[in-house]
Structure 1
Amino acid sequence: MKTLFIFNDPPYGTERCYNALRLAHALRKDSRAEVTVFLMADSVIAAKSGQKTPDGYYNVEKMLKRVLARRGVVLLCGACMDARGLDEAAVLEGAHRSTMDELAAATLEADKVLVF
């Protein structure tokens, strides 16, 4: 089953990204599951590399790396990156700049689309 997650909220301040990633990780325990995460709006900051969070606090960068390590896909809205001054050199390895056309294609291919 192909599941597309669309994130909109910033990585910290709410727990939407955190909870969506928890679900993505749970789905990936099933080897048949395919997970794509599309970050848009303020959520593109979730893919910024080098995040340092206090001990005992979740780290969204590390959670996205786990998605990638389990053969998931992490895409970032290019226009949203530009609006926030975020370039590809600043994001974690394996995450890719993307487009609305690519999001549309992923939406059509997905069995389920979850928006956070």
Structure 2
Amino acid sequence: MQFLFVLHDPPYGTERTYNGIRWARQLLTNGSGNEVKIFLIGDAVGAVAPGQRTPDGYYNLENMLRGFVEHGGVVGCCGSCLDARAIDDTKLVKGAHRSSMKELGSWTEWADSTINV
């Protein structure tokens, strides 16, 4: 199956983005041959900033997204949202890319299931 996760919340402060990435990765790595994409919009684009330093024992979304991409997942980031937060394309986790509402629309049509977290 093909899954699209649309994540909205900031990387830290709530666990919605964390749990969305965990869920997406599980669907990607469960052996069922699923294809999974994550679209980050609004404050969620902060999750792709490299160099995140979190306390020992605390989840790190940069590492989680890197692992997701290494397993074949795709990560798109709302370009307007990146611009509003002064995150340029050179400051994205490897494998994540600047995206657009046009691509989000295409991904929504592509997906068998869209999960809005």
User: TM-score band, normalised by the shorter chain?
Assistant: over 0.9
Q: How far apart are the structure 1 equivalents of 2:42 and 2:93? A: 17
1:54 aligned partner: 55
Instruction: Tell me how far 1:21 sits from its aligned partner.
Output: 1.1
Aligned length: 116
Instruction: Tell me how far 1:31 sits from its aligned partner.
Output: 4.6
- Cα distance per residue 1:44-69 (max 9 Å; x no partner): 00000110100000001111011100
1:80 aligned partner: 81
Q: How far apart are the structure 2 equivalents of 1:66 and 1:31? A: 18
Equivalent AA in structure 1 for residue 21 of structure 2 = L
> Normalised by the size of structure 1, how large is the TM-score?
0.97
- Cα distance per residue 1:31-87 (max 9 Å; x no partner): 511110000100000000110100000001111011100110000000000111110
Where in structure 1 do 4 or more consecutive aligned residues deviate above 2 Å?
Answer: none
1:24 aligned partner: 24
The RMSD of aligned alpha carbons is 0.8
1:44 aligned partner: 45
Q: Secondary structure at the match of 1:4?
A: strand
Q: Percent identity?
A: 49
1:67 aligned partner: 68
Q: Secondary structure at the match of 2:43?
A: helix
Q: How far apart are the structure 1 equivalents of 2:72 and 2:47? A: 18
> Normalised by the size of structure 2, how large is the TM-score?
0.96
Equivalent AA in structure 2 for residue 60 of structure 1 = L
